């Protein structure tokens, strides 16, 4: 399943536009721009499944680094600082990964 089945091309473009420069990624802004904060829990779970590249049931730091590439192959990778900040924001139990339940609450922030 592709993200384009959940998000419009315009939403994806707006989200990616908001963080083109290195160290400009802000997850709250990104979630609003792509419309994730207004999606249903089921739709967010589908997005989570796409982002969980290794199908572990969690999104780990390495998967977060390439988070934007899930939206467009031409998007940049997150910097180490952006990746660590993103993980820290979504990792409510501090186990080094984000589970689907945490991701849903995190997106709705």
pLDDT one-digit tens code per residue, 50-67: 999 999 999 999 999 999
Give the chain's radius of gyration (CA, Å): 12
Q: Are 70 and 52 in contact (CB under 8 A)?
A: no
Which residue range forms the structural domain that includes residue 70? 3-108
Residue 108 has pLDDT above 70, yes or no: no
Asked if residue 63 belongs to a known ligand binding site, the reply is: yes
Q: How many domains does the chain have?
A: 1
CATH of residue 54's domain is 1.10.238.10
pLDDT digits (tens, 9 = 90+) for 1-17: 688 899 999 999 999 99
* Residue 25 DSSP label: -
Query: What percent of the chain shows pLDDT beyond 70?
Result: 91
Question: Is 18 labelled a binding residue?
Answer: no
Query: What pLDDT score was predicted for residue 63?
Result: 95
Q: Is pLDDT at 26 greater than 60 in this prediction?
A: yes
Q: Is 23 annotated as a binding residue?
A: no
Mean pLDDT of the chain: 90
Position 103 pLDDT exceeds 60: no
What residues contact residue 69 under an 8 Å CB cut-off, 6+ apart? Answer: 75, 76, 77
pLDDT of residue 41: 87
Q: Rounded mean pLDDT of 85-107?
A: 81
Q: Is the pLDDT of residue 35 over 60?
A: yes
Listed in sequence order, the residues at least 6 apart from 71 whose beta carbon sits closer than 8 Å to its beta carbon are 3, 7, 12, 15, 16, 34
């Amino acid at each position: 399943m592709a993200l384009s089945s959940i998000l419009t091309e315009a939403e994806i473009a707006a989200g990616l536009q908001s963080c083109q420069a290195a160290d400009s990624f802000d997850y709250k802004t990104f979630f609003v721009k792509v419309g994730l904060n207004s999606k249903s829990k089921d739709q967010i779970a589908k997005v989570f499944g796409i982002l969980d590249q290794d199908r572990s049931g969690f999104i780990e730091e390495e998967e977060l680094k390439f988070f934007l590439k899930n939206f467009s192959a031409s998007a940049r990778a997150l910097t180490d600082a952006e990746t660590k900040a993103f993980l820290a924001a979504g990792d409510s139990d501090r186990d080094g990964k984000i589970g689907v339940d945490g991701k849903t609450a995190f997106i709705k922030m």
